[in-house]
Amino acid sequence: MSASKASSETAGVPPNTKRPNFLVIVADDLGFSDLSCFGGEIRTPNLDKLASKGLRFTDFHAAAACSPSRAMIMTGTDHHIAGLGNLIEWTNRSDQNAPSAGDSKHWSTAPQRGMPGYEGYLNERVVALPELLKDAGYLTLMAGKWHLGLTPERAPSKRGFERSLAHLPACSNHYAYEPQLENQDQIPGFMTMSFIALHSEDGEYIKKLPEDWYSSNGYGDKMLSYLQDRKTTGDERPFFGYFPFTAPHWPLQAPDEYIAHYKGVYDEGPDVLREKRLTRMKELGLCSGNVEPHPVVADEVKAWADMTPEEKAKSSKAMEVFAAMVECIDANVGKVVDYLEETGDLDNTFVCFMSDNGAEGAAYEAYPIVQGSMIQHLQRYYDNSFENLGRGNSFIWYGPRWAQAATAPSRLYKAFTTEGGVRVPFLAKFPKGFAEGDASNLDRGITNTFGTVMDLAPTILEMAGVKHPSPDGKGTYQGREVVSMRGRSMVPFLKGTEQSVHPADFINGWETCGRAAVRCGDYKILFIPKPKGPEKWQMYNLAKDPGEIHDLADADPERLERMIKMWDQYVLETGVVPLAPALGQWMEAMEAQMPEDVWMEYEYWKDGARDDPEAFRRPQPRFTREVKAM
C-alpha cells in the first residue's frame, strides 16, 4: 500500500462517526497578555467567547520566531529538521537579526547557509499536516501568512492545500502600499524583503492586490469565501482551515475606526500598562499572585520618564495602532466563526488560536542596517506624522518597552529563547461531545500543563483518525523517506486519561541565531549572547521562577551538567548548526557560505521580478554536515 493511501486510513474514529472540522488561527508577534482573555485591555470579544467555551494554556510554547513556529505547526516536528532552522531572511543577512555596534553584536549566520534543515522552506524530509488530511478526504483551506517558501514548488498548493491565498514572505505593508521610487533611489537593505506584499493564490503569483486591501480583512474575507464555496457546491467533506494572520507584525498599520477605540488608552506608558496587565492576569488565574516579573531590559531606548511630550505621544500612538491591529484580527475571526455557527458547523469544529512567538521588542532604530539610508527613505517616502501613524503610508514599530508589557512576567521577547520569546497564548474550543465525562480536563478553563506547537499536528491527526506514515521515523510518503513527529497528541490529556501532555522527563529544545535553551520538567537552561545575556549557560526553576531571574547554575552544577548533555542530544537529533563553540559542535563557515545577501531563492523585490519571476530565481547550493554523538 502506498504511503499516500496508508495516510488516509482512520484510526480511533468509530465507524459512521462524523469527523471533526479544524480551524487553526495564528497571530504574528502577538504578546502573551494582549488578548482580553489573557489579561489585556484590547477588545477581543470573539476570541474571548471561544476561550470561555474551551481551554486556555498558560505554559504553551512556540519557537522564538515566526517561520520556525509555522514549520512546526505544519509538520509536528522541530523546525531545524523541517527546513526552517532559522528564518531564511536572518540566514541570508547576519545583520537582520541583531544590532552590531559598540558592546552589541550579531553572530554571523554563515555556518548555517545551505546546510540540511536550513533550506528556508519545508523540505522533503517532512510530510505536512494538510497533505495527510487531504489524502484522508479533508477539504484543506488556507488564507494568510505562509513564510515556508517563496517559489511555486514551495507553495501551500504543493503541500496539501486545495485552496490557498498565501502571503509568502516574512512581512509586508498591510495595505500593500509601495512608494514609487524616484531617480536612482533603491529599497534600503533592511526593507528589501518587506517592501512587496508578495502573495499567491492556489500556487499562482498575484501581480496586484485589490485597491482596498488590508491584510487581516483580506484573509478573513478569503477564508469566509472558501467556506461559503464549500456550502454552495455541496461539498460534504470535513475541512481543515489554516488561518494565519500577518498582523500585528510591523509595520504597525490598522483601519482608522479601530485605532479610534484606543485613543488615550496608553498615555500612561508601558510600565503602567505592564502593571495593569500583571494585576489582571493574577485576577484571572493566569499566573500566581506572588509572581516575580523579570525587570524590563531596554537600555537601547529611552525610559518613558525621559521622553519628551512629543516622543510619548508618538510612542503611545504606536501602541494604539498595535491594539487596533489585534482587534481587527478578532473581528475577522468572528466573521468566520459566526458563519460556521450559522451553518451548524461550529459544534463539530476544533478551533484554536495562538501566537507564533513572543511580542516583537526589537529597537530597530538601534540597528546599523536601519540607521542612515533607511531613515532617509522613510522620511522621503512615508508620512510618520502623528496624525498619519497607522495608515498605509506610515512605517513604525513599538519597541522593547511595550513588548515587555505584553510578555510579563517573562523575560525579554521575540527572537530570544527566554520565556518572553517562546511562551505564547494558546486557546482551544473543542467539538461538541469531545472528551466529555468526569475525567475530562476541558472543564478546567485554564491549564498549566506544558505544551508546544509541535503537539498540534499529532493532536489533529488523532482527532481526525489519520495515521502518520512514519511513526518510527522509518516510513515513507510519496516514495520518499520522512521523519516522525516530535510532538505529542494532547488527546489523552484532554480526555483525562493522562495528567499532562508530555511525560515529566520530556526534553524540549530551542535555538534561534545562537540563542539557545533546553527544558526538562520544571528546569530550563538558557544561553543568551551579550548584551542581553551573559553569553554562558544559566539555569532556572520555572515553577518557582517563571521570570527567569534567579540563576541556579552555580548552586546546582550537577543538574546544569546533565542539562547541557540534554542540549548536546538535542543538537544531535535535530541538526542544529551552533553559532558559537559554547553551544557544541561548532564549525567555522566554509568559503562558499561567506557571501551575504545571496541566499534567497526568489529575489521578488527587484525591478521586473513580478513580471518575470524565473529571471529572478537564484538556485541555492546544498551542503552536507556530519554530526557525531558527543
Question: 443 CB contacts (<8 Å, ≥6 apart)?
Answer: none
Catalytic residue among 37, 66, 287, 352: 66
Counted residue by residue, the chain has a size of: 630
CA-CA distance, 54 to 56, in Å (whole number)? 7
Query: Nearest 10 degrees: CA dihedral of 169, 331, 36, 448?
Result: -60
Catalytic residue among 61, 80, 106, 147: 147
Q: Of 281, 270, 366, 374, whose CA–CA distance to 318 is shortest?
A: 270
User: How many CB atoms within 10 Å of residue 594?
Assistant: 11
CA-CA distance, 185 to 183, in Å (whole number)? 6
CA-CA distance, 30 to 403, in Å (whole number)? 9
550 carries an active-site annotation: no
CA-CA distance, 284 to 291, in Å (whole number)? 14
CA angle 444, 239, 13 (to 5 degrees): 65
Q: Where are the beta strands (DSSP E) in 1-83?
A: 21-27, 55-61
CA-CA distance, 118 to 341, in Å (whole number)? 41
Cell output for 566: 540534554
Q: Of 167, 214, 456, 427, whose CA–CA distance to 331 is shortest?
A: 214
Cβ contact 112:212 at 8 Å: no
CA-CA distance, 70 to 191, in Å (whole number)? 22
Cell output for 480: 520518499
CA angle 168, 170, 173 (to 5 degrees): 90
Is residue 409 reached through a cis peptide bond, with omega within 30 degrees of 0 on the bond before it?
yes
Q: Of 29, 82, 86, 71, whose CA–CA distance to 511 is shortest?
A: 86
CA-CA distance, 212 to 475, in Å (whole number)? 47
Query: Nearest 10 degrees: CA dihedral of 261, 267, 273, 275?
Result: -140
CA-CA distance, 170 to 563, in Å (whole number)? 33
Sort strands 507-512 and 515-520 into parallel, antiparallel or unpaired. antiparallel
66 carries an active-site annotation: yes
Active site members: 66, 147
